Amino acid sequence: MNKKRILIVAGEASGDLHGAQLVREMKSEEPGLHFYGVGGGKLKAAGVDLWANVADMAVVGLTEVLPKLRMILGVMKRLKKSMRSLKPDLVILIDYPDFNLPLARSAKKNGIPVLYYISPQIWAWRKGRIQTIRRVVDRMAVILPFEEAIYRQAGVDAFFVGHPLLDVVRPNTSRSETLSRLGLQENVPTVALLPGSRKGEVNRLLPNMLKAAQILKENIKSIQFLLPVADTLDMEWISGLIAKENSPEVKLIQGATYDAVAAADVAVVVSGTATLETALLGTPLIVIYSVSSLTYIIGRMLISVEHIGLVNIVAGKTVAPELIQHEANPNRIAAEVLSILNDSGRRKAVQEELSLLREKLGQPGAARRVAQMALTLMQKQRH
Q: How far is CA 261 from CA 82, 192, 219, 282, 355, in A?
A: 41, 6, 22, 9, 16
Q: How far is CA 383 from CA 176, 226, 376, 380, in A?
A: 56, 54, 11, 5
Helix (H) or strand (E) holding 72, with range, is helix 69-85
Domain regions of the chain by residue span = 5-163+363-382, 175-360
Determine contact, residues 23/41, Cβ cutoff 8 Å. no
- Does the pLDDT value for residue 303 go beyond 90? no
pLDDT tier, 63 (very low <50, low <70, confident <90, very high otherwise)? low
Determine contact, residues 281/171, Cβ cutoff 8 Å. yes
pLDDT tier, 315 (very low <50, low <70, confident <90, very high otherwise)? confident
The superfamily CATH assigns to domain 5-163+363-382 is Glycogen Phosphorylase B; (3.40.50.2000)
- Does the pLDDT value for residue 292 go beyond 60? no
Asked, colleague to colleague, whether 5-163+363-382 and 175-360 share their fold, the answer is: yes
Beta bridge partners of 191: 225, 266
pTM (2 decimals)?
0.83
- 339-367: average pLDDT: 93
- Does the pLDDT value for residue 381 go beyond 70? no
Closest CA to 368 of 12, 20, 21, 2: 21
CATH of domain 175-360: 3.40.50.2000
pLDDT digits (tens, 9 = 90+) for 195-234: 998 888 899 899 999 999 999 999 999 999 999 998 878 8
Q: What is the largest CA-CA distance in the chain?
A: 69
| SS3 of residue 68 by DSSP | helix
Distance CA 314, CA 319 (A): 10
Beta bridge partners of 90: 6
- Does the pLDDT value for residue 152 go beyond 70? yes
pLDDT digits (tens, 9 = 90+) for 49-61: 999 998 777 655 5
Residue 37 or residue 121, greater confidence:
37
89-93, 148-152, 225-229, 301-305: segment of lowest average pLDDT: 301-305
pLDDT tier, 62 (very low <50, low <70, confident <90, very high otherwise)? low
